Chain A
Amino acid sequence: MQKLEFLLRRLGTSIFVLIGVSVITFFIARVVPANPAALYIGPKARAEDIERVTKQLGLDKPLPVQYAVYMQELLRGDLGNSISTKRPITEELMGRIPVTLELLFSGMFIAVLLGVPFGVLSARWQGKPFDWMVRIISIVGVSMPAFFLGLIFQIVFFRNLDLLPLAGRVDSDLRFSDPLTELTGFILLDSFLTSNWVTLKDAFLHLILPALTLAAYPIGLIARMTRAAMLEVLEQDYIRTARAYGIRQYFVIYFYALKNAISPTLTVIGLTFAFALTGTFFVEILFNWPGLGLFTVRSLLNLDYPAIMGMTLFGATGYVLINLMVDLLQAWVDPRISLR
C-alpha cells in the first residue's frame, strides 16, 4: 500500500515538473527573444512573413492564451515544422530516438560496468595505489571535454593505428552488399535479429569510440560516488558486527555492504544521464552519428529555432522520465525509501 502511494505521489510530482518544464520552454521560445516571429521563420525573414507567423503563432494575443494554444498543440504531439527540412519536428525527433539511445545506452553500460567496480574496489583498498589510480582516472574523466577526447580517439585509433573506423554508424558499402532490414532502428539489435553478422560486427566496431567518449565523464562520476557510498556503509555497526563474526572480507563487501551502497549509486547513475544526454551532442557531431544530437547541432547552425525548442522540451522530458524511473527503481531495491 505504501509502495502504491509512493508511486502515485512520485507520478504526480513528475507531471507537475513536466508542466513546469513546458512553461519554461514556452518562455524561452516566445518571451525571451526580442522578435520571436523572425526566429520562427529563420534567417531570411521578410516583413509579410513575420506578420503571417505572428498571426499563426498567436504572438499578438496575451501570453496565457498563447500558452494555452501552445499546450494544445503539444498534447497533440505537434512541435511545429523544422525550418531547414520543412518536416514536422516530432517526426524528425522520433526517427532519431533509437540512433541516440543506442549510443547513450552503450555509453552508460560501459560507465556502469567500469565505474561501479572501480568505486567498490577503491573503497575496499582505501589509500592504496588502486584507490589513487581510480581517483586520478575519475578526475581526468570529469575534466576531459567530450569534444576533445573524441578527437584524440580519432587521431590515435584511426589515423595512427588504423584499428577502428573514423565516424558513422556503419560502413556505407554494407548498405549494398549486406542490406539491413530495419525493425527497431537499433542497428546492433536489428542485425542480430536478422542474423546479419557482417553488419553486426561493423556496427559494433563503429560504436566503440563514440561509446567510450561518452562514457568518460559518467565513469568518473559513478566511480567517485560509489566509493563515497561504500566508505560510508563500511563504517556502519552492522558491518563491524559481520566482521566480528568472522564473515569473510569479500562476502562482507560484495554482499552486505554493496547492497546498501546501491541506492546512492543509482541516484548518481540517474544524474549522469543528464550529462550523457548533452554529451551525445558532442559525440554525435564528432563521429557523424545521425541521432538527436547531430540534428540539434545542425539546427543550431542553421538557426532552426522551432527545432531547437522542440529538442529542448524533448530532452528535458526524457530526463524527467529517466529520473522518475531511477526513483521507482530505487524504491524497489531499497524498501526504506518508500517510508519517507
Chain B
Amino acid sequence: MTVPIPLTSEKNNTRTARHVLSVILRDPLSMIGTLIIILVLFMAIFADQVAPYPEEGKGKTNAPNTLMAPSADHWFGTDKLGRDILSRIIMGSRSALIVPIGVVLFAVLLGAPLGALAGYKGGWLDEVIMRITDLFLAFPSLLLAMAIASALGRGLDKAAIALVISWWPWYTRIARGVAVGLRERYFVEAAQAIGVRDAVIIFRHILPNTLSPILVQATVDMGTVILAMGGLAFLGLGTQPPAPDWGLMVSDGRTYILEQWWIATFPGMAIFIVVLAFNLLGDTLRDIFDPRQYK
C-alpha cells in the first residue's frame, strides 16, 4: 500500500502507545493480524526446531519421496525433489519476514532524513529533493525494482536493494509533510534562536516527530513489500534455489497445478496469510491516525 496517509503530527503525539494498543485489542481483525504476525515470527526464530524435516527445508533432496500428496507424514505433501513442503515453508518464513522488514527499515532510514531536511530547510533544497522523489514515484514500484534487480544480477540481497531504491520516496514525502508543519513551531524556532545547528534540529527535534506517521505507513507497507518480494522471487529475481522461498515455491509448483496442486497452493497461502496479517494490523493503525475516520 503506497497511498500516503494524511498527516496530523500534533494529534498523533497525543495518541500514545497505550491508546494504539487499546484500539488494536478492541478490534478483532487487528487482533487476529497481530497474533498471526507473532506466530510467524516465532516460527521463523525456531524454524530448526519446528520444521519436521529441517534439512529438506534448507534444500536437501529426497528422491524416493517425489511429488507425494499431503499425508500424516508430510502435511503439505512433497515437491518434485521429494522435499517436505511444510518444512520448506517454515524455513522460508525467515527470509519472508526478515528481508521485507529490512527493506522497509532501510527505506525509512534513507527516506525520512531526506524528507525532514527538505521540509525543514524549504527553498531550493526542498524543491530539488522533492522533484527527485517525484521522478522515482513516476515508476510503478515493482517495475523499477525489476529493472534494478536485473541490472544488479540475481539474488535475494540484490532484490532487497532494488526494493529499497523504489520504496524510499514514500517516506521522504511523509517526513517532509510533517517537517513543513513543524518548521514554524515554537520549539523549533526556540532551538534556532539559541543557535542549535540545523543538523541537530533535524535529528533531535524534527525526525522524532515524523516517527509515528512513518511507523504506521511502514506497517501498512509491509504487506506490499512482502508481495513485491514474492513477485520478484516468482519471476526468478529474488532468492535462488535451493534456498527455500515462498514466491519461488509457487513458481516451481505452477507446472504441476493440475495434478499436484499442493506444491504451489501451500506456499501461496503462506504469502497470503502473512500479507493479510500485516494489512489487518495496518488497516486499524491507519484508521487511528487518519483524522477522517477518527471522531
Binding site for B on A (CB under 8 A): 16-17, 20-21, 23-25, 28-29, 32-33, 39, 135-136, 139-140, 142-148, 151-152, 154-155, 158-159, 221, 225, 228, 231-232, 268, 271, 274-275, 277-278, 281-282, 285-286, 296-297, 300-301, 303, 305, 308-309, 311-312, 315-316, 319-320, 323
Are A319 and B261 closer than 8 Å at their CB atoms?
no
Q: Which residues from chain A contact B236 at a C-beta distance below 8 Å?
A: 300-301
Residue in A151, A158, A282, A319 whose CB lies within 8 Å of B138: A319
Report the bound CA distance from A33 to B162 in whole Å.
13
Are A300 and B140 closer than 8 Å at their CB atoms?
no
Are B146 and A300 closer than 8 Å at their CB atoms?
yes
Dominant SS at the B interface? helix
Q: Which residues from chain B contact A135 at a C-beta distance below 8 Å?
A: 29, 283
Q: Which residues from chain A contact B293 at a C-beta distance below 8 Å?
A: 228, 231
Residue in B29, B144, B265 whose CB lies within 8 Å of A151: B265
Determine whether B237 belongs to the interface, using a CB cutoff of 8 Å to chain A: yes
Of the candidates A29, A39, A152, the one having the most CB atoms from chain B within 10 angstroms of its own CB is A152
Are A151 and B250 closer than 8 Å at their CB atoms?
yes
Determine whether B185 belongs to the interface, using a CB cutoff of 8 Å to chain A: no
Please name the residue on chain A nearest to B140 by beta carbon: A274
Q: Which residues from chain A contact B264 at a C-beta distance below 8 Å?
A: 148, 151
Query: Smallest CB–CB gap between B173 and chain A, Å?
Result: 14
Determine whether B177 belongs to the interface, using a CB cutoff of 8 Å to chain A: no
Which of B68-76, B77-85, B205-213, B226-234 sits within the interface? B226-234
Are A148 and B271 closer than 8 Å at their CB atoms?
yes
Chain B residues 121-139 with CB under 8 Å of chain A are: 131-132, 134-136, 138-139
Determine whether B193 belongs to the interface, using a CB cutoff of 8 Å to chain A: no
Residue in A143, A158, A296 whose CB lies within 8 Å of B223: A143
Q: Which residues from chain A contact B132 at a C-beta distance below 8 Å?
A: 20
Determine whether B20 belongs to the interface, using a CB cutoff of 8 Å to chain A: no
Are A148 and B223 closer than 8 Å at their CB atoms?
no
Binding site for A on B (CB under 8 A): 1-3, 29, 131-132, 134-136, 138-144, 146-148, 150-153, 223-224, 227, 230-231, 234-237, 247, 250-251, 254, 257-258, 261, 264-265, 268-269, 271-272, 275-276, 279-280, 283, 290, 292-293
Report the bound CA distance from A152 to B132 in whole Å.
40
A-B contact sample (10 more), CB < 8 A, given A145-B250, A228-B292, A271-B2: A17-B135, A20-B131, A24-B135, A28-B151, A33-B151, A143-B227, A152-B265, A268-B3, A278-B142, A316-B143
Are A231 and B148 closer than 8 Å at their CB atoms?
no
Query: Smallest CB–CB gap between B110 and chain A, Å?
Result: 16
Query: Smallest CB–CB gap between B30 and chain A, Å?
Result: 11
Report the bound CA distance from A232 to B295 in whole Å.
11
Report the bound CA distance from A277 to B148 in whole Å.
17
Q: Which residues from chain B contact A311 at a C-beta distance below 8 Å?
A: 143
Dominant SS at the A interface? helix
Q: Which residues from chain B contact A305 at a C-beta distance below 8 Å?
A: 150
Report the bound CA distance from A301 to B292 in whole Å.
45
Q: Which residues from chain B contact A155 at a C-beta distance below 8 Å?
A: 257-258, 261, 265
Q: Which residues from chain A contact B152 at a C-beta distance below 8 Å?
A: 32-33
- Check A143/B272 contact, CB under 8 A, given A32-B148, A33-B152: yes
Report the bound CA distance from A128 to B231 in whole Å.
35
Residue in A29, A232, A296 whose CB lies within 8 Å of B151: A29
Are A147 and B292 closer than 8 Å at their CB atoms?
no
Report the bound CA distance from A21 to B224 in whole Å.
23
Are B283 and A28 closer than 8 Å at their CB atoms?
no
Report the bound CA distance from A290 to B29 in whole Å.
40
Please name the residue on chain B nearest to A315 by beta carbon: B143
Report the bound CA distance from A300 to B151 in whole Å.
11
Please name the residue on chain B nearest to A227 by beta carbon: B293
Query: Smallest CB–CB gap between B5 and chain A, Å?
Result: 11
Report the bound CA distance from A249 to B147 in whole Å.
50
Are B272 and A144 closer than 8 Å at their CB atoms?
yes
- Check A147/B135 contact, CB under 8 A, given A32-B151, A139-B279: no
Report the bound CA distance from A271 to B170 in whole Å.
14
Please name the residue on chain A nearest to B150 by beta carbon: A308
Query: Smallest CB–CB gap between A19 and chain B, Å?
Result: 9
Residue in B140, B227, B235 whose CB lies within 8 Å of A319: B140
Are B143 and A147 closer than 8 Å at their CB atoms?
no
Are B144 and A312 closer than 8 Å at their CB atoms?
yes
Of the candidates A23, A274, A277, A303, the one having the most CB atoms from chain B within 10 angstroms of its own CB is A274
Are A28 and B148 closer than 8 Å at their CB atoms?
yes
Please name the residue on chain B nearest to A318 by beta carbon: B140
Of the candidates B1, B29, B136, B268, the one having the most CB atoms from chain A within 10 angstroms of its own CB is B268
Q: Which residues from chain A contact B234 at a C-beta distance below 8 Å?
A: 145, 147, 282
Report the bound CA distance from A221 to B269 in whole Å.
21
Report the bound CA distance from A139 to B144 in whole Å.
25
Query: Smallest CB–CB gap between A41 and chain B, Å?
Result: 15
- Check A20/B147 contact, CB under 8 A, given A143-B275, A231-B292: no
Are B138 and A316 closer than 8 Å at their CB atoms?
yes
Are B272 and A142 closer than 8 Å at their CB atoms?
no
- Check A140/B147 contact, CB under 8 A, given A148-B250, A152-B265, A274-B140: no
Could you pull out 19 A-B pairs where Cβ atoms are within 8 angstroms?
A20-B131, A139-B276, A139-B283, A143-B272, A145-B234, A145-B271, A147-B234, A147-B251, A147-B254, A152-B268, A159-B257, A277-B143, A282-B234, A297-B235, A300-B235, A308-B146, A316-B140, A320-B138, A323-B138
